[in-house]
Amino acid sequence: MDQFTLNLLFVGASFALYIGIAIWARAGSTSEFYAAGRGVHPVTNGMATAADWMSAASFISMAGLIAFTGYDNSSFLMGWTGGYVLLALLLAPYLRKFGKFTVSEFIGDRFYSSTARMVAVICLLVASITYVIGQMQGVGIAFGRFLEIDAFWGLLIGACVVFAYAVFGGMKGVTYTQVAQYCVLITAYTIPAVFISLQLTGNPIPALGLFGSTESGEPLLVKLNQIVTDLGFAEYTAAHGSTINMVLFTLSLMIGTAGLPHVIMRFFTVPRVSDARWSAGWTLVFIALLYLTAPAVGAMARLNISELMWPNGTSGEAVSVEQIETDPDYAWMATWQKTGLLGWEDKNGDGKIQYYNDANADLQAKAAENGWEGNELTNFNRDILVLANPEIASLPGWVIGLVAAGGLAAALSTAAGLLLAISSAVSHDLLKGQLTPNMSEKSELMAARLSMAAAIVVAVLLGLNPPGFAAQTVALAFGLAAASIFPALMMGIFSTRINNSGAVAGMLAGLAVTLLYIFLHKGWFFIPDTNTFTDADPLLGPIKSTSFGAIGAAVNFAVAYFVSGMTKETPQEIKDLVESVRIPRGAGVAVEGH
Amino acid sequence: MSQTNDSNAYWSANLRLIKISLVIWALVSFGFGIILRPLLAGITIGGTDLGFWFAQQGSIIVFLILIFFYAWQMNKLDREHGVDEE
């Protein structure tokens, strides 16, 4: 059976499984849909939340970004896990005690203002749409590869599948479907990593293999550092970027994690306040399984690629064009070339492909000596690394098919979940809650579908010219959530001083400065060439647009305090509400708001 | 009145626990993983330094321990102050 058929088989079988479970456990009504989470054990809920949370960014993109940058991209690892500490300590138990279903409902009630609720909805929409762009990129790459077509067509086909998935409610947040998706996703991520770790270090646990030794007794990371510096690239384990930027970037990702509505929502429906605390811990357990493996996947893939390009060592001859075209170990290069995400060119016509950093002075000297005319591995999109990884390591065909299914599970589940969050924000919070309260259930459903369609069209249009690799685009979404939602929630619980005007002003200020900073660097509405600055030379010292969320959050806090101090005090009944949110006793079941 | 005093005591005990946890949270990630990494450069692990390990794995493991520690301590605190859900 050829690889193409095998991939389709794995992808098809996993989809059949999700749809089967969705039909078996289908929620009949809105309240049943919400209630589904109420009887769920914290461990099961943790697994489902982990599936909801780990998207194309975690699965497809992150290890590739770590592989090609090394230590400096550790921010993704710390940021996307450290946020759960904030969530467990500062938000989850209190929001559960409050007992409503959506983040904007909490903000509307705590700040006794429908304006605050509306502003929260807007913040949520901006962050979610940016997030969907990143997911669509991942979907495009996955479909492009497995249907062996250009990534552009992959994106269009993927968009149709995501839309169908979300509209027909195949995902509908049914917890058990997500549990199945988690299992597919984690198996698909771990199995190739175990194989590769065994090949390179003899250790079956990739996380330990990363710090293990290769066959020659040399530590893996020492060997990797040696090879990449020989080729003129930056040392893998060393810090190269600005420390301030790395701190702010990590902090933005952490705060953003704790401010993402589709993650927070899952903690509203656990049975008790104490379960909300445990649930955050279990979620992180299941996320950590992937996150402890990811840095090993990155480092090992980098080593494998470098060795494939220089099969005779970095001082020997480079791989020949003929070998790339005929040797089965290099077959993955031809398959990925079809997506337009991998490319090479024999610039000096010597029949070999030299892969090195042609911006490095030492290597330029070496190149002049040897008659090289620049790096010949001309295009290597970071986002393909995880999907190509099993092929790069020459693993069996079924592993490749499994990774295909895993990548699609990650991207589709999160994309569909986000579309549902967007559509419910528009139809439930914005239209029914504010603009047209007398809307019938039928037209609410219609509005939900239309807004879903609109969101996906916007995401596809913007996804064609993405502002970065998938994980970077998603990082921007986190910055926006960090600057707008998290501060409002935290102040709502930990301070009785913040009043309606303070919260509204804070959210608007945080969102506005962050959005402005991002657009100045990434182009207005991410349209190429409309940017004034670049991330290589940012407006404020070393602070890149992906790191600005932490500053936006600080602005949010400061403005909220200042404005609250100048305006009327919080009424007594709201102070009582805050007091009651702080103690677990008396937590009833969550109820649907208006 | 005693009710209010007790709920104040409960809340300040909670805040104390949160502060301690967040100090550890920041220390392992922003501290050992980033800012204090040069100080740990002397300690080697698997061909690199301890700071690299904290940035790529260590901090995640500490985060996990922190969340479970907090949940355990808070559930105990709930019972001690009689504010648990039972």
Residue range A7-44, pLDDT digits in tens: 889 988 988 888 777 777 665 544 444 444 456 677 88
Confidence band, pLDDT 50/70/90 cuts, at residue A274? confident
Residue of chain A whose Cα is closest to the Cα of B78: A584
Percent of chain A with pLDDT over 90: 43
- Do the chains contact at B22 and A220, CB–CB below 8 Å? no
- Whether A188 and A405 have beta carbons less than 8 Å apart is answered as yes
Residue A534 is classified by DSSP as B
List Cα–Cα distances, A412 to A184, A312, A419, B1, in angstroms: 13, 41, 10, 54
The one-letter amino acid at B71:
A
Handedness of CA B10, B11, B14, B19 (dihedral sign): negative
Q: Mean pLDDT across chain A, nearest whole number?
A: 86
Residues in chain A: 594
pLDDT of A485 > 80? The answer is: yes
Radius of gyration from C-alpha coordinates of chain B:
18
Non-local CB neighbours of A461 within 8 Å, separated by 6+ positions = none
Residue B1 pLDDT: 37
Of A167-171, A411-415, B50-54, the range with the lowest mean pLDDT is: A167-171
- Rg of chain A (C-alpha set): 24
Question: What was the pLDDT predicted at A217?
Answer: 87
For Cα atoms A585, A88, A30, give the angle at the middle one, nearest 5 degrees: 70
**Residue among B7, B35, B70 whose CB faces A277 most closely:** B70
Beta bridge partners of A353: A319
Task: Please name the member of A247, A295, A583 whose beta carbon is closest to the beta carbon of B56.
Answer: A295
- pLDDT band with cut points at 50, 70 and 90 for residue A86: very high
CB–CB contact B34 A84 (8 Å) = no
Report B:30-49 residues touching A (Cβ under 8 A). 30, 33-35, 37, 45-49
Domain ranges of chain A: 3-304+390-582, 310-388
Q: Is A328 exposed, middle or buried (0-12, 13-18, 19+ CB in 10 A)?
A: exposed
Residues of chain B in contact with residue A246, where contact means CB-CB under 8 angstroms, are: 34
pLDDT score at A37: 44
Beta-carbon separation of B34 and A247 below 8 A: yes
> What would the mean pLDDT of A381-402 be, rounded to a whole number?
88
With beta carbons under 8 A apart, name residues in chain B contacting A586. 85
Residue B2 is predicted with a pLDDT of 43
Question: Cα dihedral sign for A458, A460, A466, A470?
Answer: positive
B26 touches chain A (CB under 8 A): no
- The rounded distance, in Å, linking the Cα atoms of A395 and A18 is 26
| pLDDT reported for residue A81 | 95
Which range has highest mean pLDDT (A210-214, A335-339, A510-514)?
A510-514
Chain B residues touching A77 at Cβ < 8 A: 55-57, 59-60
Using a CB-CB cut-off of 8 Å, the residues of chain B touching A280 are 67, 71
* Per-residue pLDDT at A31: 47
Confidence of residue B24 (pLDDT cuts 50, 70, 90): very high
Pairing of strands B44-45, A379-380: unpaired
pLDDT score recorded for residue B3: 53
Mean pLDDT of A538-558: 93
Written as one letter, the residue type at A580 is S
Q: Mean pLDDT across the stretch A176-188?
A: 87
Q: Is the pLDDT of residue A294 over 90?
A: yes
For A584: left if phi > 0, alpha if psi spans -120 to 50, otherwise beta; the answer is alpha
Report pLDDT for A32.
47
User: Could you tell me the residue ranges of all domains in chain B?
Assistant: 2-80
Distance from CA of B80 to the nearest CA of A (A): 13
| Closest Cβ opposite residue B85 in set A218, A247, A273 | A273
Q: What per-residue confidence (pLDDT) applies to A511?
A: 96
Instruction: Say what the pLDDT of residue A458 is.
Output: 86
Residue of B55, B83, B85 with shortest CB distance to A74: B55
- Least confidently predicted of A293-302, A435-444, A562-571: A435-444
Contact by Cβ (8 Å): A411, A139: yes
Tokens of A393: 């390591």
Nearest residue in chain B measured CA to CA from A576: B4
pLDDT of residue A199: 92
Closest by Cβ to B25, choosing from A77, A85, A583: A85
Comparing CA positions, the residue from A476, A480, A483 lying closest to residue A553 is A483
Tokens of A373: 């005319």
Token digits for A329?
A: 């170990």
**What is the model's pLDDT at position A34?**
43
Which of A82, A223, A587 is nearest residue B29 as measured by Cβ atoms?
A82
Categorize the per-residue pLDDT at A178 as very low, low, confident or very high, splitting at 50, 70 and 90. confident
Q: What are the DSSP calls for A138-152, one per residue? A: HHHHHHHHHTTS-HH
Read off the pLDDT of each residue in A160-178 and give the average, rounded to a whole number.
68
Q: Would you call B63 and A213 a contact, using CB atoms and an 8 Å cutoff?
A: no
pLDDT interval class at B47 (50, 70, 90)? confident
Closest to B67 (Cβ–Cβ): which among A84, A207, A295? A84
| Alpha-carbon span A407 to B70, nearest angstrom | 33
- Chain A environment of B67 (Cβ under 8 Å): 84-85, 88-89, 277, 280-281, 284
In a mutagenesis test of the A interface, which of B27, B29, B86 is the best target, namely the one with the most A β-carbons within 10 Å?
Answer: B29
Q: Which residues of B touch A251 (CB under 8 A)?
A: 30
Q: Which CATH number fits domain A3-304+390-582: 3.40.190.10, 1.20.1250.20, 1.20.1730.10, 3.40.50.1000?
A: 1.20.1730.10
Residue A591, pLDDT score: 55
Question: How far apart are the C-alpha atoms of A292 and B59, rounded to whole Å?
Answer: 10
Q: B84 vs A584: CB contact, 8 Å cut-off?
A: yes
- Report whether pLDDT(A140) > 90: no
- Ranges A74-88, A318-332, A553-567: which has the least confidence: A318-332
> A145, A384 in Cβ contact below 8 A?
yes
